[in-house]
Amino acid sequence: MKTDLHSQLIQLGLKATAAGLDDLIARAVKSRWSPQLLLEELVRAENRERSDLSLQQRLRRCRTGRFKPMVDFDWHWPSKIDRPTIERALTLDFIPEARNLILLGANGLGKTMIAKNIALAAVQAGYCVLFQTATELIQNLTCDSPQQFRRKLNFYARPHVLVLDEVGYLSYDTTAADLLFEVVNRRYEHRSIVMTTNKAFKDWNTVFPNATSIATLLDRLTHHADFTIIEGPSYRVRESELEIAARKK
């Protein structure tokens, strides 16, 4: 009988109730719950389970990988950083407004770390987030079939937040700017983009040489956007020097 009930609960999609059935019944009997209270507890358990599963699924789709939490970020290391803008972005206030956030600075100053922490906060708040490098996005959009291209473009248009990392780290051919423009244009005034780049916009012609769409791309990207510039020596170089010094001791 118990096995039958357990199986029937699973068939109904009540997996949390099935997993904790013995404990639920024991608590109900011990505390003399009313039928309504028992049902309320069952609903709470199922909602918790589904919320946890949804969070795990969004985390997997986000693809941020491992990273340090913001509590480990050394705000005093950069010689220049707009802390209020970054802390405001971590509250996610830009997402409902479909605003973009652009983190500009040299390598090793924590741009990716900040972007990944914003992505995690958004996932935990219930948003769908996708994290990709610019190279991954451009390679993924480079395809021969128009139907396949439309499907991939729709894939990048859907998430509430698209994090594009390392824009400007490599140079691309002329078509790359057009592909990036298509993504930015689809999301323009509908969905947010968080972008990290080591190149000032005036230097993007070195990233996308001979591309005619750069001006329009930047116009869409920056129309509703917050910017923060991070300056200073590479924190990763500092960490490496400290590790070398520690090993010598």
Nearby residues of 130 by Cβ (< 8 Å), 6 or more positions away: 61, 62, 63, 156, 159, 161, 162, 163
In order of their start, the domains of the chain are 2-61 (no CATH), 70-238 (3.40.50.300)
- What is residue 1's predicted lDDT score, i.e. its pLDDT? 46
Split at pLDDT 50, 70, 90, the class of 18 is confident
Positive or negative, the CA dihedral 33, 34, 35, 38 is negative
- What is residue 122's predicted lDDT score, i.e. its pLDDT? 93
- Give the position of tokens 């128009």: 146
Average pLDDT, the chain: 88
The mean pLDDT of 53-58, rounded to a whole number, is 73
Give the alpha-carbon dihedral of 181, 186, 187, 189, to 10 degrees: 110
pLDDT at 71 over 60: yes
Q: Is the pTM value of this prediction over 0.75?
A: yes
Helix axes 134-141, 174-187, angle to 10 degrees: 100
Split at pLDDT 50, 70, 90, the class of 3 is low
Per-residue pLDDT reduced to its tens digit, 186-230: 999 999 999 999 999 999 988 988 888 899 999 999 999 999 999
- What is residue 231's predicted lDDT score, i.e. its pLDDT? 94
Per-residue pLDDT reduced to its tens digit, 115-130: 999 999 999 898 999 9
pLDDT at 112 over 90: yes
The mean pLDDT of 136-156, rounded to a whole number, is 93
Find how far residue 24's CA is from the centre of its chain. 37
Q: Which among 187, 192, 230, 184 has a CA at the least distance from the CA of 92?
A: 192
Strand order from edge to edge, sheet including 161-167: 129-133, 161-167, 192-197, 100-105, 225-230
The better pLDDT of the pair 246, 193 is held by 193
| Percent residues over pLDDT 90 in the chain | 54
Find how far residue 124's CA is from the centre of its chain. 10
pLDDT at 53 over 70: yes
